[in-house]
Amino acid sequence: MIKAVIEYQFLQNALLTCIFASIVCGIIGVIIIEKKMLMMSGGIAHTSYGGVGLGYLLGFEPIIGAFIFSICAAIGIGFIKRKGGTHSDIVIALFWSLGMALGVLFIALMPGYPPNLSSYLFGNILTVTKVDLYLMIAISMIVTAVIGMLYNNWKAYLFDEEFASIIGIKTAILDYLLLILVAMSVVVLIRAVGIILVLALLAAPAATASLLCKKLLSRIIYSILIGLIYCIAGLWISYYLDLASGASIVIFATFSYLLIFLNKKNKK
């Protein structure tokens, strides 16, 4: 496969996608698992499908539409989470369904034959374009910079939000900022594993890292490295067996997590 990577541009793009997807899901995955926000992240991811459909309907890059819809969903869900209390789960489910429904509606309104959306729904890392890569690079840099610059604030916010508020940290801002970072991360991961499977890639590396270490920074580093292994291994499997890349990555990641989890349980 190394020779093929040197020869083919699409494999080089796929490998770069693996790297940036691993950075993003490694950092954000640890935080959303710690804050128990996985389902909220799923709601944001599925809402982005409406943006993909709108992009096709109006003739602009669908991934840009996904980005816009994801950000809007993140802000909306964040507002309702802080104001709505117990009703936030209902609203997340409605955002989830609304995004998918709008995507279907926009595609149905297109003249002529509908486009093939399988790469957005289930991922196809081998079809990543230069536009996608530029967007991934920018988002990965923003996510890394925001988490790095506010690292101590994030630590306090994650482990004791009430204490963080008492010492003067603006937890409401961190709430919204985290959801926006999740929305941006979703856009990076869509091209790797697709909207339907994005939740697994956010969860699996971070969950595996939590089995191996407990310190926050160590978990983030482990999660990035594990995510890279999962993505490259899944890419290798999909390339040689001619399978869907998103499904290959997620299946490999899930089974790897289960094996490590069961091994830890047996040792105990």
Q: What is the pLDDT of residue 4?
A: 61
Residues 24 and 139: beta-carbon distance below 8 Å: yes
Q: What is the pLDDT of residue 258?
A: 93
Tell me: pLDDT of 80 over 60: yes
Nearest 5°: the CA angle 83, 85, 87 is 105
Tell me: the pLDDT tens digits for 179-226? Answer: 899 998 888 888 778 888 888 888 999 999 999 888 889 999 999 999
Helices (H), 35-61: 38-58
* Location of structure tokens 């982005």: 48
- One-letter amino acid of 268: K
2-267 CATH, one of 3.40.50.20, 1.10.3470.10, 3.30.720.210, 3.40.50.40: 1.10.3470.10
- Pull the structure tokens for residue 108: 């149905």
Tell me: the pLDDT tens digits for 116-145? Answer: 787 788 877 877 888 888 888 888 899 999
What is the DSSP secondary-structure string of 190-205? HHHH-TTTHHHHHHHH
What value does the mean pLDDT take over residues 94-118? 86
How far apart, in whole angstroms, are the C-alpha atoms of residue 153 and residue 161? 10
pTM score of the predicted model: 0.86
Tell me: pLDDT of 5 over 80: no
Q: How far is Cα of residue 133 from the mean position of the Cα atoms in its chain?
A: 15
Tell me: the pLDDT tens digits for 146-178? Answer: 999 988 888 888 888 788 888 888 888 888 899
Q: What is the pLDDT of residue 11?
A: 79
- Pull the structure tokens for residue 137: 């690079």
Tell me: pLDDT of 86 over 60: no
Q: Where are the domains of the chain?
A: 2-267
Q: What is the pLDDT of residue 207?
A: 93
